[in-house]
Amino acid sequence: MLTLGIIKPDAVAAGKAGKVFAHLEKAGFTVRAARMTRLSQGQAEAFYEVHRGRPFYDSLVAFMTSGPCIPMALECDDAVAYLRQVIGATDPAQAEPGTIRKLFAESKERNAIHASDSPENAAREVAFFFAESELKGLWG
């Protein structure tokens, strides 16, 4: 099963991307696709459309366009739920020891990594960043 993770601009700027990749691989994920990109305003607004109207939407879009990020298609059994476990709580102060956010996040807003929250969103989010040809044979 595939899911999407995004190493966010805070972790990229702090030089933590390699450590995040290593943590994910050690946890058993296979990186099937990844690229460094800088989201445009329109891309960030489209990606986070589900949050439009919420108090944090504008600041989230601004943050995600503030620097490069690294979207990744990650594969393992029960990838969506397992990635959520591996990254930890949104607020790093509440995240379990050894989770990505406990280790690498700065704050609740600058929390190092995004992870899909459902299999349906994972499919939509992976497709947002990666063409089917880049993932050919991985969904079967």
Provide the CATH number for the domain around residue 28: 3.30.70.141
Which entry of 71, 104, 114, 130 is annotated as an active-site residue? 114
Q: How many domains does the chain have?
A: 1
Q: For residue range 48-90, list pLDDT tens digits in order.
A: 999 999 999 999 999 999 999 999 999 999 999 999 999 999 9
> pLDDT band at 134, cuts 50/70/90?
confident
Residue 117 lies in a domain: yes
Structural tokens at position 3: 């899911």
pTM for this prediction: 0.94
With a cut of 80, say whether residue 30 has pLDDT above it. Answer: yes
Residue 80 in 3-state DSSP? helix
Domain that includes residue 112, residue range = 2-37+71-134
114 labelled catalytic: yes
For residue 42, tell me if it sits in a domain. no
- Is 64 domain-assigned? no
60 assigned to some structural domain: no
Residue 16 is assigned to a structural domain of this protein: yes
Average pLDDT, the chain: 95
